[in-house]
Amino acid sequence: MTSEDRAPVDFGFGEEEEMLRDLARKFLDERIPVETLRQLVAPSPVPVYEQGEPPAWDRSVWEDLVELGWAGLAVEEKEGGAGVSMVGIAALVEEVGRHALPSPLLACLACSLVLRSADSEVARRRLGQIAQGTPAALAITPGDGSWEPERSDIQARRVAGELTLDGTAHFVQDALKADFFVVTARLNDKLLLCTLPADAPGLSVEQNHIHDLTRDQATLRFRQVRVSPSSVVTDDGAEVLRRAWPSLLVLASADLCGSSEWQLQATVEYAKNRKQFDRPLGFFQAVKHPLVNAMVEIDRARSLLYHAASCIDAASVEAEKASRMAKSAASDAGAFISDRSVQLHGGIGFTWESDVHIFFKRSLHGQVLWGDGIHHRKKLAEILIDRDG
């Protein structure tokens, strides 16, 4: 339905974006190959699942990423970042997903994309901090996980010139890695957007016990948390979030496309090497054809992902539609290849010692994050059937 958007025919994927992507692939191949990942995050189910410890991550990899400038990918150069296009960010995040990298990177990118859509001095200062490697996380989701930007379960009050927050932010991604949070709160009929240090008095960060071993998640409880005037980004948070929303969907879709491609290739490798009835599994069409179907779904999602990213770069009105299409397709492709990756690996695919469960869980988490396929098709129908009619 994108008859005329202003995005370039090659999505704006040029030499610079390709170099960045190739560099990311090389770096992550070296630093976090799948064997290293498994030893890091899944030595046994005991620490995370039984003892409730936070999932592990390698801080030294993160420090090197900061050195490479990745923390500031979505921060403009004049604020100390790299100012990379959304298409370039999508390409890099695909590699992050392909390696199921545990790090504060996605949360930092998400915060940067929100802050940069708010044109304010406070936002610029925080963007500079993120670019220098201060990890941040977005605390903008209500308890029903409705994925509507204007919703918040936090109430802001201004009493005698003092601004305080009470309430709860749910499903905060990579909260335990963050030094500060980007928070939304209801203020009269407005939505306040502000930043708060992770150790702010009255703020408690309660780790969620989650399935995914490659990120963390928390519930943030606010009890009379004071917000200094220098931490208020805007009181038009709903509009800021609405503008940034397509780019959040692109981040989540890119991560899913990357993890899906890993799942596809790992399952293809297994189907080439594992023999039954004296034949490699891939000889059998009951194995071959579903893998082709998964490839086709992943390719659809990737094409829609780059379309959405290029719409954002071109500031096209198509960006919302395109990003909802991308997330719907990426969630569904992720669900399909996750299903087949376990099933076609057979008995071994059902075990803890196999790698496939690590990606299965990261994908399952990513499929619902910022809305699954059903959610985005519902929102898309409101645009294409109700509004455009």
Partner 1 sequence: MAASPSSPEQNDFREYARRWLQENAPPPPPERLPMSPLEIMTVGQRNYLQDWQGQCHAAGLIGCDYPQSYGGGGHTNFQPIANQELGHARVPFMINIVGLSMAAPTILKHGSEEQKRRFIPGALSGGEIWCQGFSEPGAGSDMANQQTMAVAEGDNWIVNGHKVWTTLGHFARWMILIARTSRHHKYDGLTYFLAPIAGHPGVTVRPLVKMTGESGFNEVLFEDAVIPDSHRLDDIGKGWAVAMTTLTYERGAAESAGGTGGQSSDPAQGLIELARETQRNGLCAAADPVTRDALMQRVIAMEGLRQSARRARVPGLCDHPMRLPLQQKLLSSENHQANARLGVEIAGAASTLYKLDPNAPRQGYWPLSYMASYGNTIAAGTNEIQRNILGERVLGLAKSK
Give the dihedral of Cα atoms 91, 218, 132, 199; nearest 10 deg. Answer: 170
From 49-57, 72-80, 117-125, 321-329, span contacting partner 1 (CB under 8 A): 321-329
Compare residues 100 and 294 and give the one whose CB is closer to partner 1.
294
Binding residues among 13-42 for partner 1 as defined by CB under 8 A: 13, 17-18, 21
Task: Find the shortest distance in angstroms from Cβ 387 to partner 1.
Answer: 12
Task: Determine, following the binding rule CB under 8 A, whether residue 328 of this chain makes contact with partner 1.
Answer: yes
- Site membership for partner 1, residue 137 (CB under 8 A): no
Q: How far is the C-alpha of 367 from the C-alpha of 373, rounded, in Å?
A: 8
Residue 216 or 297: the one with the smaller Cβ distance to partner 1 is 297
Q: Which part of the chain contacts partner 1 (CB under 8 A), choosing from 116-124, 224-232, 239-247, 284-292?
A: 284-292
User: Which of residues 58 and 299 has its CB atom nearest to partner 1 in the complex?
Assistant: 299
Is residue 368 involved in binding partner 1 (CB under 8 A)? no
Pick out residues in 37-96 that bind partner 1 (CB under 8 A). Answer: 91
295 scored as a contact of partner 1 (CB under 8 A): yes
Name which position in 296, 315, 317, 348 contacts partner 1 (CB under 8 A).
Answer: 296
**Residue 373 to residue 245: CA distance in whole angstroms:** 16
Is 11 near partner 1 (CB under 8 A)? yes
- For partner 1, the binding residues (CB under 8 A) are 1-11, 13, 17-18, 21, 91, 261, 268, 271-272, 279-280, 282-285, 287-289, 291-293, 295-296, 299-304, 306-307, 322, 325, 328-329, 374, 377-378, 380-381, 384-385, 389
